[in-house]
C-alpha cells in the first residue's frame, strides 16, 4: 500500500486517485449482520470464506460480526491472515506436497488450523510432518456432494476418518461438502440440488456414526445458496463469505436475497472524443471480467460497453454529457475477480474514507 493511500483516512473518497476500490461500510455491515443472523437463527456457525476479500482487516470485521473463524483457499492466504492475528482458520482445500505441508504445519504452531482431506497418502503426509513438529492439524474429510471437483463418496468417509483418528499429529473435526455446482443454478433448480447435496453429506455423517464416529462439524455452503443450505439440517457450519461484498454475479445471476451492493470501483473519464462514448481509466486489469462486465451506478444513461486492458468503454444515451475528469462508480461483476487485482481498498462511510485496508493476500496462489 502506498504512503499516499494510507494517508487518506479521514478524507473524502474523491481524494482517492482512480481506479479506487472501495467498500461501503453501511452496506457491508448490513450484509454481515444478514449472514450472521441467518446462521444464528438456524443454530449453525458461520465461517466465511475470504478468497473474495483477501484483506485481513475485513476478515477481522467478519469475526467481530459473529463469525467463529474464517475459511481460506490456499496456505498463502492462511499465512497472511494468521500473521494479521486471525487465530482460527479452515483451509477448505486439499494441501499436498512437502513444501505446502511444511507451511501448513508451521501455521499450526500459532493458529488453530483445519484442512480438507480426501486421500490416505495426504493424511499420512500431514500426520508425519505434524508429529515431527509437535503440533496438531485438524481435518475435515472432504465429501463429493455433486461438484465433482474434490472429495470422496459417502461410503469412503469412515475409512479416512478412522485413519485420521488413529494417526498422531492430526485430529478429526468432521466432514466437508461444498456444493459449488449449485451456485449458479436458477432458483427453481437450486433448492432441489441443494437438498441432494445435503442428503449426500448426511449419508456420510450416518456412515461415520455407523462406524462409531461422531463428526463434530459438517461444513459447506456458498453465498449462491447459503439461505437454503443453512436451513436443510445437514450443516453445522456455513462457509459462505463473498456475499458480504455483494457483486453483480451474486445478486443478479445467483439471486442472493436481502443483501446490498457493498463493493465498488471508482474510475475517471479520460476521453470523450468518440461521439456517444467515453473512455475511463480502468480496464479488465482493474475490474476483472471473466464472468461479465461491471455496471455503472453513479450515472443513469451510462453503461459499460466493453473492457480493454486499461480502458472501460462507456456508452451514453443521447443527451447524457460526460467530461474528462468526471468520476464514475462501478459495481464489479464478480468480487473474486476484482479484489485480487488491487493492493488496498478504502473503507468508506457516507462518502468519507474511515480506513484503508491492505489486500495483503492478493497474489497468494500457493
What are 206-215's pLDDT values in tens digits?
Answer: 999 999 999 9
Whether the predicted pLDDT of 1 surpasses 60: no
Q: Outline which parts of the chain fall under CATH 2.40.37.20.
A: 3-21+259-358
What's the CATH class of domain 87-240? alpha beta
Q: Outline which parts of the chain fall under CATH 3.20.20.10.
A: 87-240
> Each residue of 226-281: pLDDT tens digit?
999 999 999 999 999 999 999 999 999 899 999 999 999 999 999 999 998 999 99
Strand pairing partners for 164? none
Q: Are 316 and 276 a contacting pair, CB within 8 Å?
A: yes
| Segment 8-22 mean pLDDT | 97
- Predicted confidence at residue 2, as pLDDT, reads 60
Whole-number percent of the chain with pLDDT over 70: 99
| Segment 113-117 mean pLDDT | 99
Whether the predicted pLDDT of 324 surpasses 80: yes
- Predicted confidence at residue 3, as pLDDT, reads 54
φ, ψ for residue 55, nearest 5 deg: -115, 120
Whether the predicted pLDDT of 4 surpasses 90: no
Whether the predicted pLDDT of 87 surpasses 90: yes
Whole-number percent of the chain with pLDDT over 90: 96
| Segment 352-357 mean pLDDT | 98
> Each residue of 167-193: pLDDT tens digit?
999 999 999 999 999 999 998 899 999
Please, what's the b/e burial string for 97-133 (b: 16 or more CB within 10 A of its CB; e: otherwise)? eeebbebbbbbbeebbbbbbbbeeebbebbbbbbbee
- Predicted confidence at residue 5, as pLDDT, reads 81
- Predicted confidence at residue 160, as pLDDT, reads 99
- Predicted confidence at residue 37, as pLDDT, reads 98
> Each residue of 155-166: pLDDT tens digit?
999 999 999 999
- Predicted confidence at residue 178, as pLDDT, reads 98
Q: Which residues contact 326 (CB under 8 A, 6 or more apart)?
A: 268, 269
Average pLDDT across the chain, whole number: 97
Whether the predicted pLDDT of 297 surpasses 80: yes
Strand pairing partners for 24? 348
- Predicted confidence at residue 214, as pLDDT, reads 98
What's the CATH class of domain 3-21+259-358? mainly beta
Whether the predicted pLDDT of 91 surpasses 60: yes
The side-by-side arrangement of strands in the sheet containing 137-142 is: 45-46, 237-238, 217-220, 170-177, 137-142, 112-117, 88-94, 70-72
Q: 475485513: which residue's cell?
A: 58
Higher-pLDDT residue of 4, 21: 21
Indicate the pLDDT class of residue 290, thresholds 50, 70 and 90. Answer: confident
- pTM, full prediction: 0.96
Amino acid at each position: 500500500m502506498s504512503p499516499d493511500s494510507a494517508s487518506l483516512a479521514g478524507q473524502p473518497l474523491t481524494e482517492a486517485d482512480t481506479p479506487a476500490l472501495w467498500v461501503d461500510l453501511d452496506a457491508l455491515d448490513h450484509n454481515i449482520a444478514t449472514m450472521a443472523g441467518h446462521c444464528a437463527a438456524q443454530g449453525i456457525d458461520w465461517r466465511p470464506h475470504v478468497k473474495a476479500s483477501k484483506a485481513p482487516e475485513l476478515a477481522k470485521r467478519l469475526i467481530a460480526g459473529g463469525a467463529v473463524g474464517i475459511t481460506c483457499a490456499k496456505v498463502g492466504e492462511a499465512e497472511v491472515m494468521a500473521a494479521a492475528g486471525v487465530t482460527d482458520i479452515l483451509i477448505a482445500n486439499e494441501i499436498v506436497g512437502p513444501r505446502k505441508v511444511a507451511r501448513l504445519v508451521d501455521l499450526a504452531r500459532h493458529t488453530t488450523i483445519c484442512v480438507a482431506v480426501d486421500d490416505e497418502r495426504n493424511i499420512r503426509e500431514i500426520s508425519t510432518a505434524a508429529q515431527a513438529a509437535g503440533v496438531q492439524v485438524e481435518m475435515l474429510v472432504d465429501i463429493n456432494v455433486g461438484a465433482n471437483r474434490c472429495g470422496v463418496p459417502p461410503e469412503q468417509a469412515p475409512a479416512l476418518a478412522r485413519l485420521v483418528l488413529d494417526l498422531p499429529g492430526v485430529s478429526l473435526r468432521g466432514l466437508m461438502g461444498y456444493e459449488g455446482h449449485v451456485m449458479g443454478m436458477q432458483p427453481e433448480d437450486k433448492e432441489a440440488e441443494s437438498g441432494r447435496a445435503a442428503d449426500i453429506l448426511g449419508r456420510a455423517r450416518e456412515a461415520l456414526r455407523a462406524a462409531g464416529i461422531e463428526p463434530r462439524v459438517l461444513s459447506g455452503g456458498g453465498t449462491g445458496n447459503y439461505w437454503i443450505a443453512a436451513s436443510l439440517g445437514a450443516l453445522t457450519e456455513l462457509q459462505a463469505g463473498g456475499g458480504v461484498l455483494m457483486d453483480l454475479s451474486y445478486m443478479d445471476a445467483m439471486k442472493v436475497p436481502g443483501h446490498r451492493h457493498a463493493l465498488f470501483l471508482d474510475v475517471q473519464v479520460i476521453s470523450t472524443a468518440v461521439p456517444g462514448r467515453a473512455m475511463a481509466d480502468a480496464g479488465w486489469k482493474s475490474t476483472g471480467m471473466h464472468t461479465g462486465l461491471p455496471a455503472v451506478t453513479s450515472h443513469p444513461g451510462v453503461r459499460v460497453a466493453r473492457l480493454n486492458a486499461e480502458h472501460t468503454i462507456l456508452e451514453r444515451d443521447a443527451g447524457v454529457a460526460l467530461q474528462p475528469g468526471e468520476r464514475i462508480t462501478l459495481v464489479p461483476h464478480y468480487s473474486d475477480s476484482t479484489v485480487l487485482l488491487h493492493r488496498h481498498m478504502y473503507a468508506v462511510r457516507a462518502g468519507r474514507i474511515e480506513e484503508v485496508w491492505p489486500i495483503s493476500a492478493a497474489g497468494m496462489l500457493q
